[in-house]
Structure 1
Amino acid sequence: MEDDQLWYRLDNAGKLYSSIISSRATTLFRVSATLTSTIDSGFLQAALESTLERFPFYKVQLKQGFFWYYFEGTDQIPQVAEEVYYPCMSLSIKKRGSFPFRVLYFNKRISLELSHSITDGTGALNFIRELVTNYLHLKESVPLQKGQVSDEQLRLETENSFRRHYEKDIPVSTSQVGKSFKIPIDLDKKGHYYITTGIMNLESLKQKAKEYDTSITILLTAVYMQTLLKIQESTMHRKQPIVINVPVNMRSFFESETMRNFFVSITPSIDARLGEYEFEEIIEELKIEFRRLLTRKKLKQYIKRSVVGEESLGLRLMPTPMKNIIAPSLYSFFGEGKYTSGLSNLGLVQVPSEMEEFIERFEFYPPPSIGNKVKAMVISYKEHINISFGNLSKNRMVEREFFRRIRALEIDVSIETNDEEN
Structure 2
Amino acid sequence: MQSKYEQTKGDMKLDNTSIIHLASKNKKWINLFRLSVSLKDPVDPKILQQALNVTVKRFPSVAARIHKGAFWYYQSAVKRAPQVLPEQNVLLGYMSNQELEQCAFRVLYASKAIHVEIFHALTDGRGGEVFLKTLLAEYFTRKEEAVIPLVDGILDRKETPHEAELTDEYLEIADGKPQNLAKEKSKKVYQFREAAGETLHLTTIKVPVEKLKPLGKKLGVSLTVLIAAFVAEAILINQKADKKQKDRLIKLFLPINLRNFFPSQTLRNFVLYAKPEIDLQKEGLHFVSIAHTIRQQLNEALSEKQLRARISQNVRLEQNPIIKRTPLFIKHHLMKFFFSISEKTTCLTLSNLGVIKVPEEMARYIEHFDFILSPRSKTPYNMGICSFNGELRINLTRNTQEPRLEEALLTLFTKQKVAFQVETQTMQTLEKAKTRSRA
Match of 1:188 in 2: 197
Match of 1:16 in 2: 20
Change (3 A) 1:309 1:109: farther
For 1:282 and 1:54, the matched residues in 2 are separated by 44
Report deviation, 1:316: 4.6
Do the aligned residues in 1 keep the contact of 2:61 with 2:268 (CA within 8 Å)?
no
Asked if residue 95 in structure 1 is aligned to residue 107 in structure 2, the reply is no
Do the aligned residues in 2 keep the contact of 1:39 with 1:108 (CA within 8 Å)?
yes
Do the aligned residues in 2 keep the contact of 1:23 with 1:89 (CA within 8 Å)?
no
Aligned length: 416
For 1:386 and 1:218, the matched residues in 2 are separated by 15
Asked if residue 328 in structure 1 is aligned to residue 336 in structure 2, the reply is yes
Match of 2:359 in 1: 352
Match of 2:435 in 1: none
| Unaligned residue ranges in structure 2 (runs of 5+) | 151-155, 429-439
Change (3 A) 1:124 1:73: closer
Match of 2:433 in 1: none
Identify which of 200, 204, 207 aligns with 2:211.
204
Asked if residue 136 in structure 1 is aligned to residue 143 in structure 2, the reply is no
Change (3 A) 1:166 1:197: same
Question: Which residue type is aligned with residue 191 of structure 2?
Answer: K
Do the aligned residues in 2 keep the contact of 1:244 with 1:339 (CA within 8 Å)?
yes
Match of 2:431 in 1: none
- The percent identity for this pair of structures is 25
Q: Pick which of 314-323 and 86-95 moved more.
A: 314-323
Question: Which residue type is aligned with residue 51 of structure 1?
Answer: T
Identify which of 173, 189, 201 aligns with 2:181.
173
Match of 2:153 in 1: none
Match of 1:52 in 2: 56
Question: Which residue type is aligned with residue 294 of structure 1?
Answer: L
For 1:185 and 1:172, the matched residues in 2 are separated by 38
Identify which of 10, 13, 36 aligns with 1:6.
10
Do the aligned residues in 2 keep the contact of 1:180 with 1:240 (CA within 8 Å)?
yes
Change (3 A) 1:325 1:194: farther
Q: How does 1:20-419 map to 2 (within 5 A)?
A: 20-92=24-96, 94-95=98-99, 98-145=102-149, 154-178=162-186, 179-189=188-198, 192-237=199-244, 238-275=246-283, 277-310=285-318, 316-333=324-341, 335-419=342-426
Question: Which residue type is aligned with residue 102 of structure 2?
Answer: S
Report deviation, 1:290: 1.4
Report deviation, 1:406: 1.3
TM-score relative to the length of structure 2: 0.89
Question: Which residue type is aligned with residue 187 of structure 1?
Answer: A
Secondary structure of the residue that 1:273 maps to in structure 2?
coil
Do the aligned residues in 2 keep the contact of 1:200 with 1:413 (CA within 8 Å)?
yes
Secondary structure of the residue that 1:58 maps to in structure 2?
coil
Question: Which residue type is aligned with residue 10 of structure 1?
Answer: L
Report deviation, 1:172: 4.8
Report deviation, 1:184: 2.2
Secondary structure of the residue that 1:418 maps to in structure 2?
strand
Change (3 A) 1:420 1:112: closer
Report deviation, 1:51: 1.3
Report deviation, 1:75: 2.2
Change (3 A) 1:94 1:329: farther
Do the aligned residues in 1 keep the contact of 2:249 with 2:279 (CA within 8 Å)?
yes
RMSD: 2.3
Secondary structure of the residue that 1:386 maps to in structure 2?
strand
Q: Pick which of 412-421 and 337-346 moved more.
A: 412-421
TM-score relative to the length of structure 1: 0.92
Change (3 A) 1:148 1:247: closer
Report deviation, 1:148: 8.0
Report deviation, 1:131: 1.0
Do the aligned residues in 1 keep the contact of 2:10 with 2:76 (CA within 8 Å)?
yes
